[in-house]
Structures are given as C-alpha cells and as structure tokens.
Homo-oligomer: A and B are copies of this chain.
Amino acid sequence: MKKLVIFGVGLIGGSIALALKKARHTAEIVGVGRSGESLQAALELGVIDVATSDIAAAVRNADMILIAAPVAQTASILNAIKPHLAASTVITDAGSTKGDVMQCAQEVLGSQFSQFVGGHPIAGAEKSGVKAAMADLYAGKNVILTPAAATDSQAIQQVKSLWQACGANVSEMTAATHDSIFAAVSHLPHLLAFALVDDIASRPNAEQLFGFAASGFRDFTRIAGSHPEMWRDISLANRTALLNELEAYQQELRKLQELLQSENAKGLEALFERASIARNNWGESRKQNQ
C-alpha cells in the first residue's frame, strides 16, 4: 500500500502504524488528529511519516483511511472525509462496537458505503496514547471484520491484508453477531466490575473494605480501571445487546440467591464446578494457542 491515513494516532492506531512499518507493508503513513501535541509525539517517535490537520490533503490519493479515534467521533470524521473521497479509497475503523458504526457509515457515506469495512481488533493494553504503541500489539490476536452485504469484496481483502501484515488472525461476521458476542464476553464483564467497585467505594467503610481486598479482587476489578468516556460510548452503542446480557446475568444471580437461601449445597457445588471446569478448560486452550 502506498498511502494509509490514520485518524487518531493513539495506542490502537499507533500500534497498527508500527506493525505496518515493521512489515514494510505501507510506504507512507499520514496521521490526522485533534490533539496537535499527541500527533507531534507520533511524528517524533517515527510512528507516522506525516502529521496534518488538513483533511483534504490527507485523504487525497489515500489507499486506505483507518479511523482509530474514539467511536463517538466516527460520524464527524466520516462527514469530514466524504467530500474528498476517491472511489478507490477503502475506509475502515477499529471501534469496539460495530452495529452503530456500520449504520453511521451507511448514513454518511451513502453510495460510497461499499468502500467501508468495519473492523475490531481484540487487543488492548492498560496504557493508552501513542507512547504506549507497540509493533507487536496485534501479533496472534483476533481481528473481526463486519462487512455488510453491500461491501466491496476487494475492500474487504485489502483490510484483511492490512491486519494480517500486523500478525493478526482475521475473522468475518455480521455486525449484529459481533455486538452480541462482545456484549457477553467483554462489555458485560466491564459493567460488572465497574458496578462492584462503585458499590464498595460508596460505602461508609470503603477504606476498610479496600484495605483487605486481595489478589482475587485485584484481577476481578482490573477492568474497572478502564476509561470512563470510552465505556460510556461502548455501553450506549451496544445498549440493546448489553441490556439483554444484564437481564440474563441477573437471572443467573437469582439462581445463586435461591441456592444460597435454600442452603442447597449440591446445587451450589454443581454450579461452581461447571464454571470452574469451563474456566480452566478455556485457560488451557488459550495457553496452547499462544
């Protein structure tokens, strides 16, 4: 690829840029961002070749445009690039929710929606910002593409090649399937962890409680330290699937409450055992795949 334009050169966009440079996949990487300081850092670190706020110039002759900014900015970025978009330019994104992004792309891009391929790399790190970017962030990780029926097959292939150059395993599914999977295995656990910490932090004896919390609590609540603004956007974007998950989870909790109330030792042990076996099997298979 000759020219890739990245909107939002933080941890996600910056790591893609570093991986593509390492793989010699892309000749020129142009960064566009709202924070001049962060973009300047990306330039100085050699993550991008050009930093600009001139969207028309950035989009001109671009082979691909990658939107790696917070999901709430997707519509305004698509609106800003649309007037300058050639028919051959592929657009993709790296957002954690896909139904909302595909719908937004369809609304904004209209007849050029076929050039848009929604994407979601299943990788992250506790740190954010371009200084935390790593060339191997996506090595061996899953990336999901969510093309629509209208999506151009060559565009899909190009986005797939980009992620494969980053070392990722690429899958395709509908945006709806993507969103229901991630509501269950990612968005719900984040909300559960936020809820537990908020519950404890709001109590009069919070200090005492935190004082005796140990390694189980540490791991369970790690994701409660995540970015509030980002998780507000994800929660709202995937609201419907997430509400279904919360309902299913509360049913599971009511089952646990009933087992406890009736002192059902066998029932409790059976539930814990099913979970424990499933969790340990998953952990083992994960190790073998890495």
A residues near B (Cβ < 8 Å) are 122-124, 141-142, 144, 181-182, 184-186, 188-203, 205-206, 208-229, 231-232, 235-236, 239, 242-243, 246-250, 252-253, 255-257, 260-261, 263, 265, 268-269, 271-276, 278-280, 282-283, 285-286
Contact = CB atoms under 8 A, between A and B. Distances in A.
A231 B209 CA distance: 20
Contact of A280 (B181, B225, B273): B225
Contacts of A274: 198, 201-202
Given A195-B253, A236-B268, A276-B227, A200 B218 contact: no
Contacts of A218: 283, 286
A120 to B, nearest CB: 10
B224 A275 contact: yes
Contacts of A226: 272, 276
Given A188-B196, A189-B196, A194-B276, A239 B260 contact: yes
> How many copies of this chain does the complex contain?
2
Contact of A269 (B232, B248, B261): B232
A213 B256 contact: no
Contacts of A275: 193-198, 201, 224
A202 B273 CA distance: 13
B235 A268 contact: yes
22 contacts: A124-B216, A141-B214, A181-B205, A185-B209, A186-B213, A188-B196, A191-B256, A192-B220, A193-B220, A194-B271, A195-B252, A198-B278, A199-B249, A201-B275, A225-B283, A232-B268, A235-B268, A239-B260, A242-B260, A243-B261, A246-B256, A249-B253
B192 A265 contact: no
Given A212-B142, A232-B265, A236-B265, A201 B246 contact: no
B197 A185 contact: no
Contacts of A190: 216
A268 to B, nearest CB: 5
B197 A228 contact: no
Contacts of A228: 269, 272-273, 276
A198 B280 contact: no
Given A188-B196, A195-B249, 12 more contacts: A122-B214, A184-B209, A195-B275, A196-B252, A201-B274, A201-B278, A219-B219, A225-B276, A228-B273, A232-B269, A243-B260, A253-B253
